[in-house]
Amino acid sequence: MDTAELEAKVIAFIASKVENADASKITTASQFEELGLDSLDTVQLLFDAEETFGVRFDGDEVKNLRSVGDIVDYISQHPPASSS
Instruction: Enumerate the active-site residues.
Output: 38
Give the Cβ contact number of residue 4 at 10 Å. Answer: 9
Nearest alpha carbon to residue 6 among 54, 75, 52: 75
Query: How does DSSP assign 45-71, residue by residue?
Result: HHHHHHHHHT----HHHHTT--BHHHH
